[in-house]
Each structure stands twice: as structure tokens, then as C-alpha cells.
Copies of this chain bind each other. A is one copy, B any other.
């Protein structure tokens, strides 16, 4: 079942997958559900191996055509809306964790938008999931409801459930009250926050050893606020102006 046309490009992104069987299985699922593109961040195995091919079957085209990226930041660079699966969370610092939603609620949210040019779903490492930093490269993180005593789904099964849930959306013919998707991309937010971090360190608000944690908190808040492109530009404008003032006003 093809996704609704208003989701123009559906992209599946795997971060550092370790198992060729998983990669092949995900490629087959991409064919089963007419995904537009498979992207892989720093694979930890041979993605073209015989094991991957055996599982991919007619989905092998997705592996042959897949773009490989060094970091997740590079992989989501052109994506308008990014959602990340978060079966396993780094739990050291609870306040840094993005708020999780159920898969169902996350996909319902997507449904509110008129058009999404590039919609990406990110899946983490088989053993460790995504880091908190990587999760902050997504607009929302979601969790698939499983047994609390053994919640950890195999990577390809998580992908299959997400694609099925998305295909169910296509049956939802309610197109009333749709809103324009004008969110800042997570790549834009990331760039804005690098600039902000540099500036805040320059003025002595952030110290190098606590900088990452504090900026993460702020970034999480901005993502949760569903920041539009205009709003993010405003923040960037302020940062640039502060930088200009620091460089020029001090001279007088």
C-alpha cells in the first residue's frame, strides 16, 4: 500500500546497523511498503553481503541504491520531518531525554500536515539504540508498545510495525483542518544551536565541561516547542546580532 501522496518521500534511516540479516530484512520491507529511500549511517557490517541479499530478495535495489552517511546529522540534512524510534534510551540523565510518544500518537501527528516533502524515520543500533544527541536530531521520538519485561524488538520488526502503521494512515481519508508543515528541520535547529553554543561559550554563559548537557536541554525545549522556520530564523538573527555587537561594540 502506497503512502498518501502528501507524504512525498518516505525515507528509512538506519544508524550503525550491525547485522546484515537486519539490513536485508529492512530492504525487503522497503519494497513491501514502497518506501522511497533507504539511508544508512556508518554501517558496522558489509551491507552488500550474501546474508543481506538473502533476506532482501526484491528489496536488494534499496541496498544497491542506498546512500551511506558518516553521521545522522548528514543523513537528515534535507529531511523536513524526522521521527526516531527509541526502544532503548540512554537513561543516565532523564531530563535530557526527549519526550516519548506512542507510535500511534506520533503518526497521528504527522497526519495533521498538508504536505511533507521528505519524511524520515530513524532507527538506532541493535544493541544501544540512538544516543540522546542523535534523538535531538528528530522532531519526535516514538515507542512501540511491547511487553514491559522484554520490550526490545528486533530492528526489522520495529521497521515493519512503523511501515504498517504508516500504511494505515493512507486509509484515513479525513483531509479536513490540515495545516502546513512549516517546522524548522532538525538539521537547521542543529546548526542554529552550534552557533548559539559557540556564542554562549564566548560570553562565558556556558563552560566547556557542562556545555553539551545545557545546550541539549535548550535544544529539547526548542524541538518540543515545534519551532517554525521563521521562529528559528529569529533566534539565529538574535545570535548573529549578539556576535556582531560583541565584535564591534566592545571596540568603542
- A residues near B (Cβ < 8 Å) are 1-2, 21, 25, 28-29, 31-34, 55, 58-59, 104, 144-147, 150-154, 156-157, 160-161, 164-165, 167-168, 171
Q: Which residues of B contact A171 (CB under 8 A)?
A: 104, 145
Best-surrounded residue of A21, A161, A164 (most CB of chain B within 10 A): A164
The chain B residue sitting closest to A170, CB to CB, is: B145
Q: Which residues of B contact A150 (CB under 8 A)?
A: 31-32, 58-59
Copy number of this protein in the oligomer? 2
The chain B residue sitting closest to A102, CB to CB, is: B171
Cα A11 to Cα B166 in complex, Å, equals 26
Asked if B25 and A154 make an inter-chain contact with CB atoms under 8 angstroms apart, the answer reads: yes
Q: Which residues of B contact A58 (CB under 8 A)?
A: 150
Asked if B147 and A31 make an inter-chain contact with CB atoms under 8 angstroms apart, the answer reads: yes
The majority secondary structure among interface residues of chain A is helix
Cα A28 to Cα B157 in complex, Å, equals 10
- What would be 28 A-B contacts, judged by CB atoms less than 8 Å apart? A1-B147, A25-B154, A25-B157, A28-B154, A28-B157, A31-B150, A32-B147, A32-B150, A32-B152, A32-B157, A34-B147, A55-B154, A58-B150, A144-B164, A145-B167, A145-B168, A145-B171, A146-B167, A153-B160, A154-B156, A157-B157, A157-B160, A160-B160, A160-B161, A161-B161, A161-B164, A164-B164, A164-B165
Closest Cβ–Cβ distance, residue A207 to chain B (whole Å)? 43
Known: A21-B21, A156-B156. 6 other contacts (CB 8 A): A2-B147, A31-B147, A31-B150, A146-B167, A153-B160, A160-B161
Q: Which residues of B contact A147 (CB under 8 A)?
A: 1-2, 31-34
Contact for A29 among B25, B104, B151, B157, CB less than 8 A:
B157
Cα A171 to Cα B2 in complex, Å, equals 26
Q: Which residues of B contact A21 (CB under 8 A)?
A: 21
Cα A18 to Cα B25 in complex, Å, equals 16
Q: Which residues of B contact A161 (CB under 8 A)?
A: 160-161, 164
Q: Which residues of B contact A165 (CB under 8 A)?
A: 164
The chain B residue sitting closest to A103, CB to CB, is: B164
Cα A145 to Cα B4 in complex, Å, equals 14
The chain B residue sitting closest to A35, CB to CB, is: B147
Closest Cβ–Cβ distance, residue A87 to chain B (whole Å)? 10
